[in-house]
Every structure is written in structure tokens, then in C-alpha cells.
A and B are shown apart, each in its own frame.
Chain A
Amino acid sequence: MVFTKVDQDLVYGIKLSSVGPGRVTGSDVVHDLSGMDIAMKLHYVKGLYFFSSQAAKGLTLPRFKEAVFECCCDFYYTSGRLRRSESGRPYIKCNDCGARFIEAHCDMTIDECLEMKGFYFDLQKLLVSQQVIGPELTFSPPVLIQFTQFKCGGISLGLSWAHLLGDAFSAANFMNRWGQIMAAVGSNNTPANLQYKSNTHDHERSKNPPPVHDEPLSLKWVDPVGDHWIVSNNCRMDTFSFHITASQLATLHSEISAGRNRNDQVPIFETICAIIWKCIAKVKLGEETAQARTVTICKSDPRKPTKGFVTNTQTISSVTLDSSVTETDPKRLVTLLVNEAVDERIRMEEVVERDDGVSDFIVYGANLTFVDLEEADLYGFELNGYKPDLVYCTVNGVGDEGAVFVLPAGPEGSGQTNGGGGRMVTIIFKENLVPELKTELAKKGLGQGGGHDLT
């Protein structure tokens, strides 16, 4: 089936309710937001999980909801609502209000949906809530979950997770905990014993000393948005995704490591980043400023706590090239990305704390942002022992410079044709430059093949 424009009625029968912690959190419990959390407040992590009818067999909606009630007991801070202190600094009052739960139906099968042109941009918007925080801060849920049932018996779970609660890694943790509880429903499972741990002062200094200029490059001020936390872009942004199979990765590897010592491990993420960076730089030719030569890298922090609340712990570093990107060798780009990334989190926190978290910032899209989600356990959510067919993860509210997300492809047998060792890449970029970018990527052999059209 080919649609030119997604019909709004494709997803129908919308019913809204709230799911919150099943047990009382307590009165006057407050979750303070760190500087990093506040820096991320205009961004929203979106996750979309597809499960086949086999995986969803025998699992009713009430069972899913019951499991979320249990899950929210562990993640009680996600069920709270935002308040502002006297100074204007936002914090979360853990009043058990709950996440919004949306039930919907779709008359297509999952396969039909995924094969639709315009899926990644349009249809996924119908399967994941696009609601933002505001204009009423105190009544906006930071977490929204959409449960859609398809004609084939499969289901999709769409998670909208305000970035101030945590990064994509913590959103994946939440979903995986949900999956664990679903598997254990009916048996006595002890709660995960998650306690809030302050994560503001746990950063260790990165191995590179901070450069001379004060302001972090990854953080950009935006005009005050008041209580309506939405990013306004100067131009329309478009989203598209493609898969990179394991064999394509191998080809890219050989290009990069030609002439190098065979024993050197060339990291996959940086390889992909370097190639895409070059393509983007070619497309943006004529805009070669210092800022255009800076990128932001977001990766999982290996030193993050494994127990306790994992909120915004990903490392955010910036890399600035001193020469033109198009003229730089990909090998050199990879080396730079690996070795010269400067962790900017501490300086970002300082800037945010300067006026006690009142100002509004963006991080994704302040510069071209590359986000490494390979370590996110996106396929850890199992139903009846089956992994999801596809997990799609992105961030909404990306600024004008765009962002690139590198996701793990599904493991073997997850239903994806390139499962096992491949990657899925999502690019958010200025709409008018997207066709050119696709052409550039095609020249590198990217964007074709895989199971789905390049749309």
C-alpha cells in the first residue's frame, strides 16, 4: 500500500486515562532536577516498540496497565508534575499523578505500516504522543504511553519521555522494567529498590582539559518559552531513517582502515558519524563557519551508576575541526571524534545554574548532534520471551542544526532482515536540504538496502 499522505483516521478509537504508582509515594516528596536535566527540558525522547502477534499473544490491555502501575512505583518521579520554586527553577513534585495512557486501534497490519512511504515522519507521529509540556506546567504529564493494537494482532508501544527525566538510556530502562514486570506478573517480584541518587556531582573530569573559551559549545540559549516547553525552529525539519547492514558496515570499515594497522579497532559509531558528517558538510557548502565545524556527541557514560535512578547521565562532548570538513580525510575525522571530544557537562551545568535554571536552552541541534544509542538496551523489553520486531528511537525538539541517531539494529531473529550486527540511523535535518543529503549518502552506499524504503 502506498499513501502519499497519512490519513489521520488510520489510528482511531483513542481513549485516554492515567496510570501512576500503585502504592502511595508519600506526601511532600520532591525530585530535584539537576542542571543537566534542566538543560534538556525542551527535548523529548520518543520510543516506539513493535511487537508481533506472537509476542503479544494472550496479553490483554489490563495486564499491560497493571504492569505499568507496578513500574511507576519504582519510577515514582516520572509520575509527578512540574512546579517552579520561588526562584523560577523547575522541580518535580512527586504527587503520583501518573503518566498519560493512550489506547488506540489501527486497521493495518504492522508490516503494512512499516512499508508505508512516510512512515517515519508521519505515521509514527500517530503512534507516539506528540504532546509537549505546557502551556500549563502543573498539569502536563512528562510521560505519555500509547498502546496501539493492529489488525494482525500485533501491538505497538509508543513512549514519549520528557528528556528532563532522563536520557534515552533511562527511558529504555523504564521500558525494560515494564517488560520484566509483565513477565513476572502473578509471581512475587521484589521491587527494583531504586532510590534517588544525586547525579550532579558524579562527573569526573574528562581526560582533556577544557579549552580556553568559557561557554560550552553544546549548549545554546533560546528565546524564553515560558511554560510551554517547545522548540521553535527557523525552518521545517524533516526526519528519515535507513538501515546499515553488517556487510555495509564492513565495507565502510575497510574504507576507513585502509592503510592502518589491522589490529586497530575502529569504532563503528565514529565511522558512521564521520561519513555522515562529510555528507552533511558537502550539502551545507557555503556555510563553513566555526560553528559549522563543531559537532556535539552524546554517548553513554561508562562510569554512570548502574543502580538507582539513572537520569541524565550521558556524556555530551563537542569536537571542533580547525579545517574544513569536506577537505578532511574520514580517517582523521574518526580519530578526532574518538580522541578529541571534550566533555562539556560540567561547564553546561555551571551555565544553567548561573540563573538557577530559569533560562531556556537546547542541546540537540545546537550544533549538528550525533547520538550514540548503541549501548541503549532497546531490545531488552521482551513479551512472552519474544523481543520486539523493531524499536525506533528519536528525540523531538531538535534545533536547526539537526541530529543523527545511531541505534542498534534488532538482534538475530527479531524480525528485521538486517538483524544482528547492523545499525539503524535516523537523521533529522532541514527539510529543504534533505533530498541532496540523501543523494550524497547514496553515493557512499548508505540508505539503500535493508528491509525498508529510504523514506
Chain B
Amino acid sequence: MPPSLPDFSNSVRLKYVKLGYQYLVNHILTLTLLPIMAAIFVEVLSMGPEGMLNLWRSLQFDLVQILCCSFLIIFIATFYFMSKPRSIFLVDYACFKPPITCRVPFATFMEHSRLILKDKPKSVEFQMRILERSGLGEETCLPPAIHYIPPTPNMEAARGEAELVIFSAMDSLFEKTGLKPKDIDILIVNCSLFSPTPSLSAMVINKYKLRSNIKSFNLSGMGCSAGLISIDLARDLLQVHPNSNAVIVSTEIITPNYYQGNERAMLLPNCLFRMGGAAILLTNRRSERRRAKYRLVHVVRTHKGADDKAFRCVFEEEDKEGKVGISLSKDLMAIAGEALKSNITTIGPLVLPASEQLLFLLTLIGRKIFNPKWKPYIPDFRQAFEHFCIHAGGRAVIDELQKNLQLSAEHVEASRMTLHRFGNTSSSSLWYELSYIEAKGRMKKGDRVWQIAFGSGFKCNSAVWKCNRTIKTPINGPWADCIDRYPVHIPEVVKL
């Protein structure tokens, strides 16, 4: 990874130079326009009102020319407004809060593990070491079927979990937004590992009696970044369908995917994945502009599947005993780093201020032409965003991104605390993190949020939101009863 800038940049003088440079480049248009306008104003003043009238009369306009000009102006204006993409607003979202009966403390997890894997003490030892260093807390939840010794996953239990998670989140969303089921025009459900027939989206349509001309989609197999893929899909659909509401449900159903064997690489997801889900309401209706929480600015998707190593790094397969599990390869972090670099290369020009982009360009030219040994410049993304939501895939992922993007502890606090309280809830973790930031009262109007998610394939997807109105601390939400205890210090190794 490229190292950070040399130490002398911390000296005060250089800091002010940097600030001055940023102000200059970012406001260059204003700074050039102002003197020109001042000059014109002075010129006009010096000419006096009679001079102005003479100038006006010397321009001979006849009616036809005036009409043509005005029509041209109106035509260009109309064309501009019609071709502008519709603004997509996030009205509100709701996260699933698991019931207390689903809670799995460390001690219970380890005891069950010992009883289930009693012939394989090495595997139990491995799970214990993972759990100690995982960054999870004592309040994460697993679905009821997994609480049994041994777990009893069957289709009915999986459907039960899906209904519990999805319907709770949807009920919560309806309550928060006042949305009526009949007003949903687009429904997208994403759940990577559980894909029954009829689909989960059909299940939602059946439960809430949605309209028969609804546009429904069910995305499966797309991993933890499927949440942002759904957002992208919704955005594209909302460009085509005017005046519509889109509901997105992001979840991961754990029941059928709990690995029952003892292959170490496949036991890892058991320790990290937990129950969770979120329901989000997006709209392009102009009437919702006032009360919407966020506006979607960009979605950038990067897929590294063309590379074989990236393709195989998160792979679902059978172990030697025929038990199905998800195997994580050892170079997961390296591949994630590559995918991230690819993504920020695309998103950088869209979000970074001109000053950062110029610096990056200059350093790039310099390295190519003058001296390849110059350290590459890492753009400072803290200038582009106020809040970061990094998918809580695991402690290593958050550490890696914090290092690569040079983020402070406060920037990654939402991600770390979500991992601690809810575990890795896959595609919905970004929404728990956003909820954390709101619950802490840090979300102000105009703040920009960057959501980054990684997923199998290997994909890295980003979404950029802009806060539409200052958000008051919510009374109810997944963090309502515990936000006062956070942030907590998470030790490197928890003593079990």
C-alpha cells in the first residue's frame, strides 16, 4: 500500500499553504468571475445612463431576431431540464431489530460448538480464536433454528426466519413513512443464499397484498454488496417510471446456510454472520423532496470477476463430507484492496474537489515523466465526505480500509460499532451503520455519506448520498435502547 505523505506535511506552515491552495483551486470559477464582473460594473458606471441607452439603440434588433432568440433559449432550457436525470430520494429506511430470544452470547456459542463438534477439538479451538478476535459483541443474534444442539435448519425454519426479518422491517418502514402497500410501484428483494420458489419478493407481495402491476425483482447470489446493487437497479427503474415509489429489502437468511461440517475455512462465516435485515423506501416523486432524508448522488459498481483469483476467493462448495459451506480464501484482503482501488479510481473524479484531483494528476504526471520513485498521492477522501459506512464484513476489512483511506477512528466508528452490536449482517449492515450515525445525532443537512460494500464475485460497490435535512435523533430504531452505551472500546482479543 502506498505510504502516507512525509512527516513535514504536519508542520503548521504547510497546512496553511495546503488550505490556501485548496480554497484557490476549488473556487477558481468564482475567483475569476468576480474580477470580470467588477470590471464590467466599473465600465458601466463610467459610461453613465446615456451611454447605456446609446449602446442599446445601436444594437438593431427586429422582431424576428428577438423571437428566434427567445425560442432558442426556451428550447435549450426545456431540453436541459428534460434530459436531466430524475433526482432519487431516500424517504426513510427501517432496520430489523432481532427479539431477545435470538441473542447469542460468546459463551453460549462456544458451548454449543463444543457439544456439536465434540470429536473435533481443533475446530472448536479455531472457532474460539476467531470469535475472540472478531470484533463482535455479546448481543448479536442468530435465528431460532440455529440455537438447537445440533442446529435444525430446514426449509420451514428458513421461511420462518425470512418472514420474521422481512415483515418486521417492512412493518417498521410502513409505520415510519406512512406508506400504503398499494402505493409501492417497484419492489426489489435481495437475499444472497436463500432463494425459494416462489421468491421472497413474491412472499412480500402475498403478505401485504401489493398491486398486480407491481415491478418486482428478486436478486440472489450476489453476496454482501447486493444491497447497493439493488439501489442501483431501483435508481435505473425510477428513471424510466415517473412518479413512483420503490421499496428495497436487503437481508441475509442464515438458517439454511449454517455450516455443519468442520472444515476450518468454512467455519469462519458461522462465527461472523448474524441475523439482520433492512427495508428502504426510494422515490422520484417531487412531493417527497421536503421530507426525504437523503438524495442519491452516485452509485459506482466495480466487478473483478474477470480475474480468476478474485472469482474464487469467496466460494460456496461442498467439503470432503459433502456438507455445503462458503470457503474464504487466504488472499481475500489483498483482493479486497485491489477492488477498492479500482472503485475509488472511478469514484474519485466524481466526488473529489478539484484541488485533490489536480494534486493527484500532477503527482501522476510527475511519476510518469520525472521520477517514478515519487510516492503516489492518495487523495484525501475526508474532503469529499463527512460520513463513511464501510460494510461490517469483519474486523480485518474495516482495519484495511481505515488504513488505505487514512480514516480516523471516528470515521470508522459506525462500522466497528455495528459489527460489535449486530455482527456481520451482510447487505443490511450499511443501513445499521447509517442508523448509528443518525442515532448519535451527527447527520446534518448537506452532509455527504459514502457507503462501500464488498461481495463475492469479487465486487466492490459504492453509493454516495447527500443528506437532505438535519435528522433528529430517532426515538425508535435498532440502536434506540443501546446507543448510550456506544462507542465501546473493543479489545484486540476478548477473554472468553
Contact residues in A for B105 (Cβ distance below 8 Å): 20, 24, 95-98
* CA of A17 to CA of B111, assembled, Å: 11
Query: Contact at A139–B114, with CB atoms within 8 Å?
Result: yes
Query: Contact at A97–B108, with CB atoms within 8 Å?
Result: yes
* CA of A19 to CA of B104, assembled, Å: 9
Query: Contact at B139–A20, with CB atoms within 8 Å?
Result: no
Question: Closest CB-CB distance, B225 to chain A, in whole Å?
Answer: 31
Contact among A24, A69, A139 for B111, CB-based, below 8 A: A139
Q: What per-residue 1/0 map shows which CB atoms of A1-45 lie under 8 Å from chain B? A: 000000000000001111110111001000000000000000000
Question: Closest CB-CB distance, A250 to chain B, in whole Å?
Answer: 49
Query: Contact at B101–A65, with CB atoms within 8 Å?
Result: yes
Query: Contact at A15–B148, with CB atoms within 8 Å?
Result: yes
Query: Contact at A18–B112, with CB atoms within 8 Å?
Result: yes
A98's nearest neighbour on chain B, judged by CB, is B108
Query: Contact at A18–B103, with CB atoms within 8 Å?
Result: no
Q: Name 15 interchain pairs, CB-CB below 8 A, sorted by A.
A: A15-B148, A18-B108, A18-B149, A19-B101, A20-B105, A22-B100, A22-B103, A62-B144, A66-B99, A66-B100, A69-B100, A95-B105, A97-B105, A97-B107, A98-B108
In the complex, besides A66-B100, A97-B108, A98-B107, 18 extra interface pairs with C-beta distance below 8 angstroms are A16-B115, A17-B148, A18-B147, A20-B103, A20-B108, A22-B100, A22-B103, A24-B105, A24-B137, A24-B138, A27-B138, A62-B101, A69-B100, A81-B107, A81-B111, A96-B108, A96-B138, A139-B111
Is B96 an interface residue when CB atoms closer than 8 A count as contact? no
Query: Contact at A22–B101, with CB atoms within 8 Å?
Result: yes
Contact residues in B for A81 (Cβ distance below 8 Å): 107, 111
Contact residues in A for B114 (Cβ distance below 8 Å): 139
Contact residues in B for A15 (Cβ distance below 8 Å): 148, 152
Is B106 an interface residue when CB atoms closer than 8 A count as contact? yes
* CA of A22 to CA of B496, assembled, Å: 19
Interface size class for chain B? 20 to 34
Contact residues in A for B112 (Cβ distance below 8 Å): 18
Contact residues in A for B148 (Cβ distance below 8 Å): 15-17
B105's nearest neighbour on chain A, judged by CB, is A96
* CA of A369 to CA of B444, assembled, Å: 71
Question: Closest CB-CB distance, B338 to chain A, in whole Å?
Answer: 38
Contact residues in A for B108 (Cβ distance below 8 Å): 18, 20, 96-98
Query: Contact at B107–A66, with CB atoms within 8 Å?
Result: no
Contact residues in B for A18 (Cβ distance below 8 Å): 108, 111-112, 147, 149
Residues of B within 8 A of A (CB): 99-101, 103, 105-108, 111-112, 114-115, 137-139, 144, 147-149, 152, 496
* CA of A66 to CA of B99, assembled, Å: 9
* CA of A243 to CA of B107, assembled, Å: 43
* CA of A65 to CA of B147, assembled, Å: 12
A94's nearest neighbour on chain B, judged by CB, is B107
In the complex with contacts A81-B107, A96-B108, A97-B107, A16-B149 CB distance below 8 A: yes
* CA of A17 to CA of B152, assembled, Å: 11
Contact among A17, A22, A69, A96 for B107, CB-based, below 8 A: A96
* CA of A96 to CA of B111, assembled, Å: 11
Q: Which 5 A-B pairs have the closest CB atoms?
A: A22-B100, A97-B107, A95-B107, A96-B105, A16-B149
Question: Closest CB-CB distance, A51 to chain B, in whole Å?
Answer: 21
Contact residues in A for B107 (Cβ distance below 8 Å): 81, 95-98
Contact residues in B for A16 (Cβ distance below 8 Å): 115, 148-149
Contact among B99, B106, B147 for A95, CB-based, below 8 A: B106
Query: Contact at A17–B149, with CB atoms within 8 Å?
Result: yes
* CA of A27 to CA of B137, assembled, Å: 11
* CA of A399 to CA of B417, assembled, Å: 52
Query: Contact at A97–B111, with CB atoms within 8 Å?
Result: yes
In the complex with contacts A95-B107, A97-B108, A97-B111, A17-B147 CB distance below 8 A: yes
* CA of A139 to CA of B107, assembled, Å: 9
Contact residues in B for A96 (Cβ distance below 8 Å): 105, 107-108, 138
A140's nearest neighbour on chain B, judged by CB, is B111
Query: Contact at A23–B149, with CB atoms within 8 Å?
Result: no
* CA of A356 to CA of B210, assembled, Å: 68
Contact residues in B for A95 (Cβ distance below 8 Å): 105-107, 496
Contact residues in A for B138 (Cβ distance below 8 Å): 24, 27, 96
Contact residues in A for B144 (Cβ distance below 8 Å): 62
A67's nearest neighbour on chain B, judged by CB, is B101
Question: Closest CB-CB distance, A214 to chain B, in whole Å?
Answer: 41
Contact residues in B for A97 (Cβ distance below 8 Å): 105, 107-108, 111
Contact residues in A for B111 (Cβ distance below 8 Å): 18, 81, 97, 139
* CA of A20 to CA of B139, assembled, Å: 12
A68's nearest neighbour on chain B, judged by CB, is B101
Question: Closest CB-CB distance, B112 to chain A, in whole Å?
Answer: 7
Contact residues in A for B100 (Cβ distance below 8 Å): 22-23, 66, 69-70
* CA of A139 to CA of B111, assembled, Å: 6
Question: Closest CB-CB distance, A404 to chain B, in whole Å?
Answer: 37
Question: Closest CB-CB distance, B91 to chain A, in whole Å?
Answer: 31
B146's nearest neighbour on chain A, judged by CB, is A17
Query: Contact at B139–A24, with CB atoms within 8 Å?
Result: yes
Question: Closest CB-CB distance, A183 to chain B, in whole Å?
Answer: 18
* CA of A218 to CA of B149, assembled, Å: 40
Contact residues in A for B101 (Cβ distance below 8 Å): 19, 22, 62, 65-66, 69
Question: Closest CB-CB distance, A108 to chain B, in whole Å?
Answer: 25
Question: Closest CB-CB distance, B109 to chain A, in whole Å?
Answer: 9
A70's nearest neighbour on chain B, judged by CB, is B100
Question: Closest CB-CB distance, A187 to chain B, in whole Å?
Answer: 16
Question: Closest CB-CB distance, A86 to chain B, in whole Å?
Answer: 16
Within 8 A of B (CB), among A107-163: 139
* CA of A19 to CA of B115, assembled, Å: 16
Contact residues in A for B139 (Cβ distance below 8 Å): 24
B148's nearest neighbour on chain A, judged by CB, is A17
Contact residues in A for B106 (Cβ distance below 8 Å): 95
Contact residues in B for A27 (Cβ distance below 8 Å): 138
* CA of A363 to CA of B101, assembled, Å: 37
